[in-house]
Structure formats: structure tokens, C-alpha cells
Amino acid sequence: MIVEFDPTPEQEQFRAVVRDFAEGEIAPNAAAWDRDHVFPVDAVRAMGKLGLFGLPFPEEYGGGGADYLTYCIAIEEIARADASMAITLEAGVSLGAAPFFYSGTEEQKQEYLVPMIAGEVLGAFGLTEAEAGSDAGATRTRATLDESTSEWVIDGQKTFITNSGTEITKCVTITARTAPNEITNIVVDSGTTGFVVQPPYRKMGWHASDTHELVFDGCRVPEDHVLGVRGEGFKTFLRILDDGRIAIAALALGMASACLDASVAYANQRQAFGGPIGRYQSIAFKCADMAVAVENARNLVYKAAWLREQGRPIREAAAMAKLYASEIAVDATREAVQIHGGYGYIDETLVSRFYRDAKILEIGEGTSEIQRLILARGLGLPVE
């Protein structure tokens, strides 16, 4: 039996193109964007021009028609330079565009998906609420159909929504309760009366990523702004999250591999007590452990992407990849800071920014505890 672990030559060529772009257009600016909490709209448009927002979508909508691993490689490479830009891409594709691809009518695809794929506009996905995060089924936001005007009237609130308030955000797809036991996805266009985007959060990391609380106060949207089948909002977002977790895991992998490279370079270059610090086992072995973790994460992420490409079930594989890659990314950033000593604690140092940027990976798109819950249930355990 032949087991193939190498990405194809085309995937490797594509990786080189994205790495060049990330090193040339993103890496030199990332520290300043982080310091100034800037959402770099021109760089996002440049990712669009490179075709990154359309990678996993068919060519008939302007997409790249690429396999899922190619999309993951793009996120991995962008994340090696800047996690904020990588999450802008991941959320734009997996949370913004994918719901339209899976569930949109042809008209919705033309209106929303096509410009999202071109990277001209962004979409966001609003699931989390103040009282409904991991327990997303506890959604309180309500949408009531006003039959006299054929409009949904939306009241409620969403917390921590990525890409929801940028100057190129076209819409937010929200989950809303349309009957006591019914959750539906509804598209709310930016600028709709009664839809208020609160000022951006001040966050520990991901300073160049756009995150807002959203308030819906008697917000009216046309009846045909339902995305997919009424009442199937829960099913849709579970599918979206499964896919998204592979992509988030790729983001974590990129961060960890960048920390490994930065740590090895620094351990070879930094002199102490008459030689490079890499000659001390305590430093060298941290790098060795990091290399094992990065390799394991890459195998989990690429395998999950491959399973998805085969049309095989991915829930557990995605949860494993997300859980493992995000936890080793947090570990890798912590060890990388340690290897860099005091310089690792200074804001402009790459590993310092990565240390702050990594923590959210254990929280967003399902916490580590929720991934363990999925895996334990998959093992047949009666865990709550």
C-alpha cells in the first residue's frame, strides 16, 4: 500500500506564491497594524486579487476550484506572517462566503458569494450571543415575520463577530429564533436600519482583525433574506463550523511553524557564555519538541482536509486537528518567547505578537473543551 504524505507540486508552487505575498506585503506591516489596531483594507483587497477568498469555490462563481488542502495551505502561509490577516481570510471564506455557497439560492450566490469570492466585500457569521456561546442553541435573538410587509423583524444581539464592521463588510448572516424550537439563518445587509455595529472590541491579540458586538433593534429585512431552509439554521452552522475548524487548525499550524523557525534562527544566532544558546539542551530540546508538535499538527490538519476532499465524515478529524493545533500553537508561542528571552517580551518582536495572538485559537470556533466533548461523544462516552 502506498501512503502519500506530500502535497502535490501544484500545491507546493501555490504555497511559494502565498509565502512570497505574505513575506512581501504582510510581514513588513504586521507589527504596525498590531500596534495601531488597524484593519488593513488594502492588504485584504490584495489577498482578494491573489484569489485567496475564492480558493475552495467553483470557477463558475469566480472561485479557484482548488481542493481544501490548498485553501488550508494559503491560511497556514498567511498565518506565518500575521494571524490577524489569516483570520480575516478564514472568517471571510469559511464563515462569510461558505454559508452562501452551501445554502444560498442562485440569486443570493450572484449577489453575495460572487463579490465575496473576488475579495471585494466581506461577509460575517453571527452565531455567538452574550448568553449563548458554546451553548449556541440557546440563541435568544428573535426574528418575527411581519406578514403585512413580508419582512423579518429582528431583535437581539450578537457578540464577538469577526469581519462584521469593516468598510467592505457587505452583510452578516445571523442565527435567529423564528419559532420557539426553530433556528434560521437570516442575512442582514450592512447599513440596514435597526442594525447597529458597536465600536470594535479592544482585544488581547488579533489587533488587526475586526470584531464587534452587533445589536438588532426592530431591524427589518425582506422575507427572502432567509439563507437556506427556514428552521435549518442549526444544521447549517454545525456544517460550517466543522469545515471552519480545519481552517482554524491550519492557522494555528502556520503560527506554530513560524515560531519554530524563529526559535531555531534565534537559538543559532544569540550568543551567551561564549557561544550560541542553541548549544544548551534546554533550548535545543524546546525546539526539538516544537518540531514534533508542528509535524503532528500538520499531519492532523492535512489529513482532515484530505478526508473532507474525499467527502468522508470530518467531525472528529476536524475537532482533533483544531484541538491539537491550537493547543500546540499556544505552547509554541510561549516557548518561543522564552527562547527569545527579554526580546521576546518586547511588543515589536514577532513571537511576542504571536504569543498574544495564539490564545484565542483555544476559544474561537469552539473552545478546546467543546472539541474534547465532540471527541468524547464520538468515542461513545455519555459525557454531558
Ligand X SMILES: Cc1cc2nc3c(=O)[nH]c(=O)nc-3n(C[C@H](O)[C@H](O)[C@H](O)COP(=O)(O)OP(=O)(O)OC[C@H]3O[C@@H](n4cnc5c(N)ncnc54)[C@H](O)[C@@H]3O)c2cc1C
By the criterion CB under 6 A, which residues form the site for ligand X? 91, 95, 124-128, 133-134, 160-162, 203, 206, 211, 360, 363-367, 369-370, 373
Residue 304 cell numbers, joined: 482532515
Closer of 61 and 125 to ligand X (Cβ):
125
For the CB of residue 321, give the shortest distance to ligand X in the complex, in Å. Answer: 17
Closer of 206 and 302 to ligand X (Cβ):
206
Nearest Cα neighbor of 372 from 333, 324, 300 is: 324
For the CB of residue 67, give the shortest distance to ligand X in the complex, in Å. Answer: 25
Residue at shortest CB range from ligand X: 133
Distance of CA 21 to the CA centre of its chain: 19
**182 classed as catalytic:** no
Distances (CA, A) of 6 to 26, 246, 304, 307, 308: 27, 18, 14, 15, 17
Closer of 295 and 369 to ligand X (Cβ):
369
For the CB of residue 275, give the shortest distance to ligand X in the complex, in Å. Answer: 42
Q: Of 182, 365, 369, 384, which residue is the catalytic one?
A: 365
**Helix (H) or strand (E) segment spanning residue 220:** strand 211-222
For the CB of residue 12, give the shortest distance to ligand X in the complex, in Å. Answer: 31
Total Cβ atoms within 10 A of residue 94: 24
Residues 6+ positions from 22 with CB-CB distance below 8 Å: 77, 78, 80, 81, 82, 85
Closer of 44 and 260 to ligand X (Cβ):
44
Q: How far, in Å, CA of 178 to CA of 198, rounded?
A: 24
Look up residue 56 and give its DSSP letter: T
Closer of 31 and 373 to ligand X (Cβ):
373
Closer of 262 and 320 to ligand X (Cβ):
320
Closer of 36 and 369 to ligand X (Cβ):
369
Distances (CA, A) of 356 to 47, 83, 157, 349, 351: 24, 10, 27, 11, 9
- What backbone torsions phi and psi does residue 46 show, to the nearest 5 degrees? -65, -35
Residue 2 cell numbers, joined: 502506498
Q: How far, in Å, CA of 244 to CA of 157, rounded?
A: 23
For the CB of residue 331, give the shortest distance to ligand X in the complex, in Å. Answer: 18
CA torsion, points 327, 328, 329, 335, in degrees to nearest 10?
A: 120
Burial 256-284 (b: 16+ CB within 10 A, else e): bbbbbbbbbebbeebeeeeeebbeeeebb
Nearest Cα neighbor of 324 from 237, 250, 376 is: 250
For the CB of residue 126, give the shortest distance to ligand X in the complex, in Å. Answer: 6
Determine the 3-state secondary structure of 29 from DSSP.
helix
For the CB of residue 142, give the shortest distance to ligand X in the complex, in Å. Answer: 17
Residues classed as catalytic: 365
